[in-house]
Structure formats: C-alpha cells, structure tokens
A and B are shown apart, each in its own frame.
Chain A
C-alpha cells in the first residue's frame, strides 16, 4: 500500500501579488533573506563551516595529547583551542544547526505555514551569527580566550583580556540570536498551524522545538547577565567576581550553569524531535507512545531548569544543594528513558530500511544510552567528587553531544536532503560515512572513561606518562573521526549537483513538508496542504478512505471554483 503524494495537480497559483522571484538564485543565499528555508540553509551551511574549524582544533589537541609532553602546541594555544573548540561546537555548530537550521527549515513546512511568524526578526537572528563568528575568529588572532568554554573568573579575568572580551561579545550576540529565534518558533507553532492540526497531531519535532524554545527563553538571558558582569569586571574595573574587591566567584558559576546546563538540553531536545521523525518513517511504523514522547520533552525542559548545580558539586556549594541537585539530576533520567524505550519499541516489529538517516538514528540510540548511563553516575554528588573535571566527564558529554546531537544532525541532513535539494544523496557513501563515524566516535571517546576514572584531569596539554597508551588510542580514533567527514562532504556536494531527482516524497512520509515540491516553492505550498493523516499513521489500511476524502475534496474545490 503506497501512501505517496496526493493526486492533486492544480496549477500553482501565482496570484498573490508578491514581488518574490519564482525561485531563489544562488546569490540570494548569501544575503539578507526572510524566507525561512533560505535562513535554514544559511544556518546549516555556516554552522557546518564552524564544525570543520572546531573539528580541526580537536584534531590538533588530540595530536598534542598523543605524547605526555608539550610538543606540538604551546600550552596557551592548547587552552585557546580547547576553549574555542567547545564554544564553536556548542554555540556555532550544534545549536545553530539543530535549532536554527532544522527548526527554521522544517517548522513552517511541518505545520503548513508559508513562513515564520516574524520573517524579518528571523533573518536578523541569523545575521547576528556571522559577526559573532567573526569576533571569535578575530579573538584567535589575539591569542583567543583561554579559560575554557566555562570561562570561570578569576582565570578569565587575568588571561588574555582582549580575547576574552571578544569571546563574551560573540556569545552575547549568538545568545540574542537564540532568544529572537525562540520567540519566533513559539509564536509560529502556537499560532500558525494549519487549521486542523491540533496539539495531538503536531509533529514531534515541533513539540521538541516548543520545549527547546521555552528553555532557551528562560535560561539564555541569565547567561547574558553573567557575561555582562564578567565583561564589566574585565574592562570597567568592577569587582563582581574579584574576591579582593568583595566579589564572589561562585556567583558567576551559578549564572553560567543556570544557562549552560539547559544548553545541553537545547542541543539534544531538537535532536530527540528529529529522532521521532526519522525512525517511524524508515521503519514504516507509527511512533510508539506519541503523548509520552511529546510530554517527556516538556518534562525534560522543566526539570532541566533545576539541575544546574550538579556542575558545581566540588565548588563552593553547601551540602543541601549537593543533595538536592543530585536528586533533581537523577530525575531527568526518567523522561529521557521514556523516550529511548519508546524509540526502541517503535523499531520493534517495524520494517527497517537500512538507509543512512535510520543508521544514524539507531547509532544515536546506541551511543546515547551509554552517555545517559554515565550521566546518571555523574549526577550523584559522592561519585562526582571523584570524576568531576576529569576525562570521564569529557567522555560522557561527547557520548551525548557527539553520539547524540551530531549523529542526530547527520540523520536529519540525510533524511531531509531530498526535500532541501530536490535530489537524492548517495546511499553507499552515506553508509560508509556512518560506519566510519560510529567506529571513530567509540574509539575516541570510550577509552576516555577509563582515563578519567584512573586519574587524568581534563583540559591539560601535559599528562602523566602512565596514560600514554589510552591517549594514543583516542588520538587514532579522532583521526578516523576526522577522516569520516570526507565521504559526507563528497556525498553532499556531489549529490546536490548531480544526484537523482528525488520527487516530492521519496520516503513516503506523512508530515506536511513532504506534500510540497522538492525543493519547496518560495512560499512553501503550491496549494494549501491538507492534513489527511496523522504525522505517524503508518500501517493503517486507510487507502480506500483516503481516496474518498481526496475525491470529495476535489469535488468541493471544483464546486467552489465554479
């Protein structure tokens, strides 16, 4: 039973009096443009460039760590790389790609809207990113910020003030961009759904974006406040975080982590949404437990606002705080577990197609389970006292952020590539890419757990020689990981130019974005989309009924026209 595109072939109406060209030319993608699809692509491409830059930094760091001595990079440069690797991967790759890129591209299409609620605000939000990236690149010429992506004072107050100030400005810019984007997402999802789309048949990606946006709105401003105070301390002589002036360094940590723990969920919630779209489509089976998945996003969002002190268990925190935040952190595991089990149950009994998006989705599941389990151990204060600020933490967050977020972004790119470009990607290259990435990621990050448990702290360029062998394994893994990007890039570029035309709906998926042409027309839908099935209603034998509805609708249309 095929559930492909609608048999409606009414000619696209062009009678709306818009001054848009019929199709964007290449140069439209390089300038201010209010089309959410253009903005989405702009986010994806720019963020991918930062992914490559930050990845090269990681390769340099791993190369440095292949020997215990300082030989390749100076310790200052090493610290600049670790700071900017973290900053770029978080603020310039995962957040803009998952939220800015796919959020913008998909939300209006999925809910059947022509664009976002505030297209200009949307474009401005994107255009805050390139200057922010530029500031960060300029800061590197001044030696770069060197106090870690956390930038704890007093270290951040005394090392490389120019680099640090530029870093703060860059983060404040992307933070503003993120707030603007979130306002837009919320208003769009709340107000612009096609009339029949209730909250019960909203695609789960949109649900995830609601949770993401709420989280971004409530946490980002607090980071901005903390960073502004830091900027004042560095440049205007205030002493908020200078103990010798009566300041308190732990206040910064609270302000920072109040945002930056939720930031972890900002990076994973949209990915959870992507998972819920990719898996059902490629196993031809409805999502298992729609409501549980939808509401667990909100649960993660709410609980996620009250766990930040688990990053500060070894800092100046009183015992009650350590215990309270241990419990609240552990609770996050419950809604996260619900999602994981639901996806496994979705896979169960499906007809699994070994396509690249599905492979990355399942790879994500495999990696995230592991990262989640190590996360539970880290959430308990007594154990965290041992492993805090060690490679165990590094291993954990790379499992959830590389194995989770980056795998999810890859899955999303492959899944929506036909929609975005109108062409199919090369499946063989995609599978090679998956295998290399999966092996590379595990080879790089799995041994790091042992390093941390055995006593190697993070953020060091020189280490105890007893850890050499394990570090070398990690370095080889990182080289494989670096190499794994090549088949991906070849695939993307080649397929975008020469790939097989994809048609409207190569996956025979049911969400609305697949009802329009690939790539979609400038205002998305030739004719307004019709919600004729739930987003995941695979496997319902409704073909007869559907044809009836479609015919009925056609008749109604004819009646209206005549």
Chain B
C-alpha cells in the first residue's frame, strides 16, 4: 500500500488519488457539470446571435418562413415529460430496482426518438430550407444542433440500458453512469425550452 503515509497523517481518511486510472465516479459527475456549463455557452452564442438578428429586422420571421405551432408544441410536451420519466428511472436504481430503471430509460429513449421523428417531419413540411433567409438559417442550425444533442442523449441512455444487462453493473450505491445520462437529458430539455421560446413563441409576439 502506498497510502500509508497519507493515512497516518490523515486519520485514515480515504485518499482519492490512491485509486487507479479512470475510476473516479464522483469526478465524472463534476466533470460533466463543468462540461455542460461550457456547452450551454455555445447555445448561448447562437441564442444571442438570433436575438440580434431578430432585433435588427422589421418582420421576424420574414414572410414565407413562418413556423407552425401545433406539432412543435406536442413535441415539447413529449420532451418535457420525458424528463420526469427519466427521473423515475433514477429513483428506481436508487432503490436497487434495475428492471425499473431499464423500463423508464427505454421509455425515455423512445420519447426522444419520437421527438426526433417529429423534428424531421417538421423539417420536411416547412417548405423552406437552410439558405432561404437568416431566420430559416437560424431555425435549422439551432434546432439541428439541439437535435444532435437529443441524439447523443438517446445514445447515452441506450448505452446505460445496454450496460445494465450485466448483473450488478449498476446498483443503489453505484450508478454514476445512470445519473450522468439523466443530467445530460435534463440539460437537453432545458435548452429546448429556451429554443422553443425563441423560435416558436417570440416569432408570434
């Protein structure tokens, strides 16, 4: 043991750096939070640009590039409720209920896929493209970029489900991966709420 000296000086407190590579469960959560803070700034840059364009243009969105509201509203409800669904999964694993966690996580992933399908359907039916004007550019870049994050989130969730097939991979005391997927999903959700407000509500005021 190399931690003798530390332990003797430290009253036997566990010493973090005595662990081996890559096994720092608590660090991963912390790292993810820092990363998401950074990631939100990227959306922040896009949101700020969007607001500047909006402020400097008389009709926003310009004629011919309006957005519809019904489908995105349904999509929004699905995405927001999926945050509650995934939280059920997290509660389940905290009670050591791996089956419950898998159920709720698969449900979340399905909701994410439905959301993405809705996005694609909306893209196909809008009737204008990326390069029609600045608004359509903003619309596709922002929603597309968010959609990419949803996709990554779905893959993360499915990854958690895949890993959980091994007995004891996750349990009530060891479930950082589960929590990380959940936090990431909430992040994607929060970004969507802002996006929805900017793209679908602010265009109607």
- With A and B bound together, what is the CA distance between A220 and B34 in angstroms? 13
- With A and B bound together, what is the CA distance between A218 and B20 in angstroms? 30
Chain B's nearest CB lies how many Å from the CB of A11? 12
Chain B's nearest CB lies how many Å from the CB of A229? 7
Which of A44-52, A115-123, A274-282 lies at the interface with chain B? A115-123
- Interface of B: prevailing SS: helix
Partner of B131, one of A121, A220, A225, A236: A236
New A-B contacts (9) at CB < 8 Å, excluding given A117-B27, A187-B27, A240-B53 = A113-B17, A118-B27, A121-B31, A183-B35, A217-B37, A236-B130, A236-B131, A239-B131, A239-B137
Q: Which residues of chain B have C-beta atoms less than 8 A from A15's C-beta?
A: 1
Q: Are B133 and A527 in contact (CB under 8 A)?
A: no
Residues on B lying within 8 angstroms of A by beta carbon are 1-10, 13, 15-17, 20-22, 24, 26-28, 30-31, 34-35, 37-39, 41-46, 48-49, 52-53, 56-57, 62, 130-131, 133-134, 137-138, 141, 145
- With A and B bound together, what is the CA distance between A516 and B143 in angstroms? 52
- With A and B bound together, what is the CA distance between A224 and B43 in angstroms? 10
Partner of A530, one of B5, B30, B38, B141: B5
Q: Are A258 and B17 in contact (CB under 8 A)?
A: no
Q: Are A247 and B134 in contact (CB under 8 A)?
A: yes
- With A and B bound together, what is the CA distance between A195 and B57 in angstroms? 57
Chain B's nearest CB lies how many Å from the CB of A202? 15
The total number of A-B Cβ pairs within 8 Å is 156
- With A and B bound together, what is the CA distance between A118 and B30 in angstroms? 11
Partner of B8, one of A191, A219, A557: A557
Q: Which residues of chain B have C-beta atoms less than 8 A from A556's C-beta?
A: 5, 8-9
CB of A533 within 8 A of chain B?
no
- With A and B bound together, what is the CA distance between A246 and B64 in angstroms? 15
Q: Are A251 and B20 in contact (CB under 8 A)?
A: no
Chain A's nearest CB lies how many Å from the CB of B87? 25
- With A and B bound together, what is the CA distance between A238 and B130 in angstroms? 6
Q: Are A557 and B42 in contact (CB under 8 A)?
A: no
Chain B's nearest CB lies how many Å from the CB of A255? 5
Which residue, of A121, A182, A195, has the highest number of chain B Cβ atoms within 10 A?
Answer: A195
19 contacts between A and B (CB under 8 A): A34-B21, A115-B21, A117-B27, A182-B34, A190-B30, A194-B17, A195-B15, A218-B38, A222-B41, A224-B42, A225-B49, A232-B141, A236-B131, A237-B131, A238-B141, A240-B53, A246-B53, A246-B133, A246-B134
- With A and B bound together, what is the CA distance between A553 and B9 in angstroms? 8
Q: Are A112 and B134 in contact (CB under 8 A)?
A: no
Q: Are A246 and B57 in contact (CB under 8 A)?
A: yes
- With A and B bound together, what is the CA distance between A274 and B118 in angstroms? 53
Q: Which of A193-241 contact B (CB under 8 A)?
A: 194-196, 217-226, 228-229, 232, 236-240
Q: Which residues of chain A have C-beta atoms less than 8 A from B7's C-beta?
A: 560
Q: Are B133 and A221 in contact (CB under 8 A)?
A: no
Which residue, of B56, B62, B131, B137, has the highest number of chain A Cβ atoms within 10 A?
Answer: B137
Known: A118-B31, A221-B42. A195 touches B56 (CB 8 A): no
Q: Which residues of chain B have C-beta atoms less than 8 A from A120's C-beta?
A: 21-22
Q: Are B10 and A195 in contact (CB under 8 A)?
A: yes
Which chain B residue shows the least CB distance to A185?
B34
Q: Are B8 and A560 in contact (CB under 8 A)?
A: yes
Known: A113-B17, A220-B38, A221-B45. A240 touches B30 (CB 8 A): no
CB of A248 within 8 A of chain B?
yes
Which chain B residue shows the least CB distance to A112?
B17
Q: Are B20 and A187 in contact (CB under 8 A)?
A: no
Q: Are A222 and B134 in contact (CB under 8 A)?
A: no
- With A and B bound together, what is the CA distance between A120 and B20 in angstroms? 13
Partner of B49, one of A13, A34, A119, A255: A255
Partner of A251, one of B27, B31, B53: B53
CB of A9 within 8 A of chain B?
no
Known: A187-B31, A228-B141, A528-B3. A239 touches B134 (CB 8 A): yes
Which residue, of B9, B13, B37, B62, has the highest number of chain A Cβ atoms within 10 A?
Answer: B9
